[in-house]
A and B are shown apart, each in its own frame.
Chain A
Amino acid sequence: MALNLDKVGAAYPTLTYEVGREKIREFADAVGDPNPVYRDAEAARALGHADVVAPPTFAVVVTRGPQKVVFDDPELGLDFSRVVHGDQKFLLHRPITAGDVLSVVATVDSARTVAGNEILAIRSDVSGADGEPVATVRATLVVRAETEG
């Protein structure tokens, strides 16, 4: 199945993500990180933050919804069972903290075929309530070729 190249650069809807203390704690638990700045607002304030801070890779949670809109787009033609993650890049323009109301939009940056595998690059732009950039998240997905026989 081929990816639909017309979807490169296509506009997908902007979604809102409200960052909650308990979600940050749940994520920190899931990655086994006991750091108090992910749980205790006082510990975070001692480092100059307004509230508990999200771990560096928490942006994957924030960008999941808009990415899923892309993955599930029937016109894109992505076979998710064959997808493996190729690479990932986070540009964190400012820390994500509990209480943030973020706007997130995902875009297909490129789609190409290399050695039978399809490579899809997705960019998610995260911005704050005042429109300032918060994070830019880039992911490359590899759609593994069908195995023979």
Chain B
Amino acid sequence: MASPVAGADVAVGTELPPGSFVVTRADLVRYAGASGDFNVIHWNQRVAQSVGLPDVIAHGMLTMALAARVVTDWVVDPAAVLEYSARFTRPVPVPDDDVGATLDVSAKVTERLDDRRARIELTATCGGDKVLGMARVLVQLS
């Protein structure tokens, strides 16, 4: 499927509207249930700290899903995403409070490919630290 965004209109360097996403402990519980990922480091502070983590951490896949929003909102049809990859370079600690952690995401078109495709590089930070590395999305434009 192709995005309604016309490839002819998208140049390398185009910046997508950025996004900011809050993650609370409740969000981690909801994501654990929806995804089936019940790894204890995402909900049990005692176990998380016993394996050397600073606190309960967000599922890397939740971070990736949130970061993808910046792209899927822009391409309109989420099915225009052909590839999506990222490294989890730093954990996203989620404190046991009502504030949670905030993920800030920006995105830029870094490459135009044949067949009206574009590669987008995402930057995702939490408290100023980059939490995703090599976060790249390949999209099908029209």
Which residues of A approach B to under 8 Å, CB–CB? 26-27, 29-33, 35, 37-38, 47-49, 53, 55-57, 60-61, 64-65, 68, 80-92, 95, 144, 147
Contact B72 A33 (CB under 8 A): yes
**Cα–Cα, bound, A80→B66 (Å):** 24
**Cα–Cα, bound, A60→B134 (Å):** 19
B10 CB to nearest A CB, Å: 18
What are the residues of chain A within 8 A of B60 when measuring CB–CB? 84-85, 88
Total interface residues on B, CB under 8 Å, equals 45
A147 CB to nearest B CB, Å: 5
**Cα–Cα, bound, A87→B62 (Å):** 13
Contact B51 A57 (CB under 8 A): no
6 A-B pairs whose Cβ atoms sit less than 8 Å apart in the complex: A31-B66, A47-B1, A47-B76, A64-B36, A85-B59, A92-B83
Across the interface, B72 reaches (CB within 8 A) one of A35, A83, A85, namely A35
Contact A87 B61 (CB under 8 A): no
B113 CB to nearest A CB, Å: 15
A102 CB to nearest B CB, Å: 15
- The binding surface of chain A is classed by DSSP as mixed
Cβ-closest chain B residue relative to A65: B36
**Cα–Cα, bound, A96→B51 (Å):** 36
- With A81-B41, A147-B51 known as contacts, the answer to whether A33 contacts B81 (CB < 8 A) is no
Contact B65 A55 (CB under 8 A): yes
B99 in contact (CB, < 8 A): no
B30 in contact (CB, < 8 A): yes
11 more contacts with CB within 8 A, not counting A89-B85, A90-B83, are: A26-B34, A27-B34, A30-B27, A31-B66, A57-B68, A61-B36, A64-B35, A81-B39, A84-B91, A92-B81, A95-B1
A137 CB to nearest B CB, Å: 10
What are the residues of chain B within 8 A of A83 when measuring CB–CB? 39
A93 CB to nearest B CB, Å: 8
**Cα–Cα, bound, A92→B91 (Å):** 26
Contact B37 A57 (CB under 8 A): no
Contact B62 A31 (CB under 8 A): yes
**Cα–Cα, bound, A63→B87 (Å):** 19
B82 in contact (CB, < 8 A): yes
B52 in contact (CB, < 8 A): yes
